[in-house]
């Protein structure tokens, strides 16, 4: 019987848990709502409850479970297992999540940042399989990321590496929520797509989205582009070009073997990836881009829990 | 008696060799001209000759020498010990430098890129001492770099990581020699400083450098700034701000414990570092910049040969 590890993907809306084999397969899974409004201790108890249900459903297979890996949003003090701050979980400041879970389940636990563990999963059994190094960009309301080097998450000196969305691609660009100017996130997140689409509409460019200017989303822009709307297509094309610049910078700096995108904005698929790849081609040295894989996530639903389990295995 | 390693700093003009202890001290040193116009085999023989002279001068201390580390300009195939291409050494394409040196000296040899080994030296016994991670930016005609993570050079999948000078900081910036637009190198190298100073002069801004527009150098701009020339001061200030943006990007991505600058442009000292630090302060997340050291090289003359020796020790 293979050894199993519990992976936990803690999100703002749902908690996903799964039993993960040493080869990255999920043999049992379970999901509960997060109910973060009830506070950190209640969320930790919901995680423990979901894990207990998972282990009960697995029956005797649960005997070989070694421990629990958790991917959490926010800034994590990995050495001490503490969530320092999480903008997506209200009231989470200095929450000793690892200790709460270890006490609740009587099992060893490891926690890490959700984008970091997702990057680890992609490198392990996703688009980066066989590659030692991978950078993941998570494209949503903001842009996050994770960096895997030699098969391990690169955390940096203070544990906050991988903030690829806050690299500046324009000295005088738009002000970002972080205080910096010209962040990639301010050009290529879903929020930035919507802002640019509003500007396009305000400039009088014809588009079917003009009548929905107040309720724009990246998904609506994509739907309009698929339906042939030229302004919407140009919006996604431009988003891809900005992302390509960001990826090119990451390749010059880190020369990874693989680059992956995940998150809601990737629903645009090849319409987004095409301009990314074109931009990378002319901006990046041949030696650096040769053989590099630039792809959408291969594990859009499961990277979080697989990566969390992997994180425990490597600890 | 401590074990010793030969470090070789191969430059376009000079070859510097030294006997380096396990603590990074140079106990003997020697220097010869490169004479690269005589071709790669002749240069390899000059390296071997310089090493033989070094070992002879060291006397019985040479008995404990374990091998040779070489820092070479250009793109290196580290696994095979081959200099693939070196723009600073005419005619260097696919030169099996490691083999030439091993055959010439009868000792094991390791070669790596010169900026990489300099970064390793800074992390080991320079400004990054005690820090596991360091990014070095070499500021000269262009901008190169080296990245050390967990005390080892990060080479990337194809061995070309650390090209920090080619990260783009402006989507539509000046065209760089590499083909990309808006490279940091096109804003903050000595070449870029001179180009901007010429533009300042052409715009009619008063400066003592106006009469030297055709023979400007970064050193002259610095001298004028020291003498109180306002336009020259502004040039260095702006250079520092661009570098600060680049450093902030590296910090968001890698969260290193130390950042170091070396190369001719660093003669401007604090006049350059001040705006770098100011820019980093407002552009970078507090968690990422807390405790980070941003400094000029502590080993401006010796980083190459100390790092080359260290490279051998770690191989």
Q: E-strand spans in A44-179?
A: 65-72, 75-77, 82-85, 93-95, 109-113, 134-139, 143-149, 152-153
The residue of chain A with its CA nearest to that of B164 is: A253
| 3-state class (DSSP) for residue A193 | helix
Mean pLDDT score of chain A: 96
The minimal CB distance from A157 to the residues B252, B257, B282 is found for: B257
B169: chain A residues, CB-CB within 8 Å: 168-171
**What are the structural domains of chain B?**
4-120+302-314 (3.30.420.40), 130-296 (3.30.420.40)
Rounded to the nearest angstrom, the minimum Cα separation between B54 and chain A is 36
- What are A121-133's pLDDT values in tens digits? 999 999 999 999 9
Contact check, Cβ <8 Å, A167/B253: yes
B168: chain A residues, CB-CB within 8 Å: 169, 245, 248-249, 283
B285: chain A residues, CB-CB within 8 Å: 160, 163, 166, 178
> Has residue B1 got a pLDDT over 80?
no
CA distance linking residue A138 with residue B28, whole number of Å: 52
- Tokens 């570092």: give the residue: B273
- What are A22-74's pLDDT values in tens digits? 999 999 999 999 999 999 999 999 999 999 999 999 998 888 899 999 999 99
Question: What is the reported pLDDT for B72?
Answer: 97
Least confident stretch, A87-96, B175-184, B262-271: A87-96
**How many other CB atoms sit within 10 Å of the CB of residue A2?**
12
Return the axis-axis angle of helices A230-254 and A218-226, rounded to nearest 10°: 120
Question: What is the reported pLDDT for B62?
Answer: 82
Rounded to the nearest angstrom, the minimum Cα separation between A76 and chain B is 11
Contact A306, A22 (CB under 8 A): no
Contact check, Cβ <8 Å, B158/A282: no
Question: What is the reported pLDDT for B127?
Answer: 97
ipTM of the complex: 0.96
Span A265-281, mean pLDDT?
97
Secondary structure element (H or E) that encloses residue A245, with its range: helix A230-254
Confidence bin at A117 (pLDDT 50/70/90): very high
The minimal CB distance from B290 to the residues A149, A158, A242 is found for: A158
- What are B236-255's pLDDT values in tens digits? 999 999 999 999 999 999 99
CA distance linking residue A9 with residue B233, whole number of Å: 52
Alpha helix locations (H) across B65-212?
Answer: 97-105, 114-125, 185-188, 190-202
**DSSP conformation class of A74:** S
B-interface mutation test, from A253, A289, A293, most B Cβ less than 10 A away: A253
The residue of chain A with its CA nearest to that of B243 is: A171
Distance of CA B293 to the CA centre of its chain: 18
Question: What is the reported pLDDT for B2?
Answer: 67
Token output for B172: 């539509």
Question: What is the reported pLDDT for B286?
Answer: 87
Q: How far is CA B262 from CA A174, B213, B296, in A?
A: 32, 26, 6
Question: What is the reported pLDDT for A285?
Answer: 87
The residue of chain B with its CA nearest to that of A284 is: B180
**How many other CB atoms sit within 10 Å of the CB of residue A290?**
11
Question: What is the reported pLDDT for B212?
Answer: 87
Higher pLDDT, B146 or A212: B146
Span B174-180, mean pLDDT?
91
Mean pLDDT score of chain B: 96
> Has residue A1 got a pLDDT over 70?
no
Contact check, Cβ <8 Å, B285/A132: no
Question: What is the reported pLDDT for B187?
Answer: 97
Contact check, Cβ <8 Å, A149/B154: yes
B83: chain A residues, CB-CB within 8 Å: none
Question: What is the reported pLDDT for B213?
Answer: 86
Question: What is the reported pLDDT for A226?
Answer: 97
The residue of chain A with its CA nearest to that of B178 is: A285
The residue of chain A with its CA nearest to that of B85 is: A287
Least confident stretch, A232-236, B65-69, B88-92, B180-184: B88-92
Contact check, Cβ <8 Å, A285/B163: yes
Return the axis-axis angle of helices A218-226 and A270-283, rounded to nearest 10°: 90
CB-neighbour burial class of residue B223 (10 A; exposed 0-12, middle 13-18, buried 19+): middle
- Least Cα distance to B184 among B139, B237, B222 occurs for B139
**DSSP conformation class of A20:** E
């Amino acid at each position: 019987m293979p050894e199993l590890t519990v992976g936990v993907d803690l999100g703002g809306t749902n908690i996903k848990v799964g039993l993960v084999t040493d080869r990255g397969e999920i043999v049992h899974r379970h999901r509960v709502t997060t109910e973060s409004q009830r506070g950190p201790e209640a969320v930790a108890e919901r995680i423990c409850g979901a894990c207990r249900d998972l282990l009960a459903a697995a029956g005797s297979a649960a005997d070989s479970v070694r421990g629990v890996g958790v991917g959490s949003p926010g800034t994590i003090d990995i050495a001490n297992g503490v969530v320092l701050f999480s903008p997506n979980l209200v009231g989470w400041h200095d929450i000793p999540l690892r200790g709460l879970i270890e006490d609740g389940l009587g099992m060893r636990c490891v926690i890490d940042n959700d984008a970091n563990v997702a990057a680890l999963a992609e490198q392990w059994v996703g688009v980066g399989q066989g590659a030692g190094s991978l950078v993941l960009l998570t494209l949503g309301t903001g842009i996050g990321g994770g960096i895997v080097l030699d098969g391990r998450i690169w955390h940096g000196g203070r544990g906050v590496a991988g903030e690829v969305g806050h690299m500046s691609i324009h000295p005088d660009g738009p002000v970002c929520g972080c205080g910096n100017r010209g962040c990639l996130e301010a050009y290529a997140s879903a929020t930035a797509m919507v802002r640019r689409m509003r500007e396009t509409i305000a400039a009088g460019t014809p588009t079917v989205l003009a009548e929905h200017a107040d309720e724009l989303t990246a998904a609506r822009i994509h739907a309009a582009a698929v339906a042939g709307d030229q302004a919407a297509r140009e919006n996604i094309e431009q988003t891809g070009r900005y992302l390509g610049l960001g990826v090119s910078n990451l390749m010059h700096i880190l020369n990874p073997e693989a680059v992956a995108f995940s998150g809601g904005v990737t629903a645009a698929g090849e319409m987004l990836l095409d301009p990314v790849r074109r931009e990378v081609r002319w901006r990046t040295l041949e030696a650096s881009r040769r053989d590099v894989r630039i792809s959408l996530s291969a594990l859009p639903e499961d990277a979080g829990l697989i990566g969390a389990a992997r994180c425990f295995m490597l600890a």
